A and B are shown apart, each in its own frame.
Chain A
């Protein structure tokens, strides 16, 4: 069965420091991987995705993520955090064996960036 784990409920970082939000996945085929961000009372906003090719994916607002097949991970990173990055982050996976657009989401990680 497909699943996504985000092991940290919350990540705290100081503004200007690098941040990492962790994600591991399990699928039967190959994964398509996504990161979304959610601000209060809003829908999900797409950040980046990995489909194939280069393991390092760059996305919106300076975020990037590294796909590691051997560790089945897709951690989200940013070199220098901003207070405005504080939000709820979701990792999601789509199995290449599934012909639909169904996404399986992790439980979410709340990022708090302190000034």
Chain B
């Protein structure tokens, strides 16, 4: 079974621009979560989507948004980029479901975003 894929792997943008990152979960997985990894703040939860609905959201400004499509693929968008948005953005998928969240999240390789 193919793993979680993320595109693009690397991205360079300038301040003020916007960016869209894409994530394709493991086949059959319906929950997709996004995390930001920086040297200073570590790994921080951005949001989680399940069945095209945002189920949970972290403490990030409204410039960070996401969505999930009917095939469970997900995108996240960052508008009006700031230097501090430079980070590794990781997507994770799990089978999801409405019971206790016991399933493992499997991570993609990440998208390295550099904001100049």
Residues of B within 8 A of A92 (CB): 43
Tell me the B94-116 residues at the A interface (CB within 8 Å): 94, 96, 98, 100-110, 112
Question: In the complex, which residue of chain A has the Cβ closest to the Cβ of B43?
Answer: A105
What is the total number of residues of chain B having a CB less than 8 Å from a CB of chain A? 30
| Alpha-carbon distance between A105 and B90 when the two chains are bound, in angstroms | 13
Are B33 and A101 in contact, CB atoms less than 8 angstroms apart?
yes
Are A45 and B107 in contact, CB atoms less than 8 angstroms apart?
yes
User: Shortest Cβ distance from B4 into chain A, in angstroms?
Assistant: 8
Q: In terms of DSSP, what is the predominant structure of the interface of chain B?
A: strand
Question: In the complex, which residue of chain B has the Cβ closest to the Cβ of A32?
Answer: B102
Q: Does B74 count as interface, using CB distance less than 8 angstroms?
A: no
Tell me the B1-37 residues at the A interface (CB within 8 Å): 4, 31, 33, 35
Which residue from B42, B90, B101 sits with its C-beta under 8 Å from A43? B90
Interface residues of B (CB under 8 A from A): 4, 31, 33, 35, 42-45, 48, 50, 55-56, 58, 90, 92, 94, 96, 98, 100-110, 112
Cβ-closest 5 pairs across A and B: A100-B56, A105-B43, A43-B107, A44-B107, A43-B109
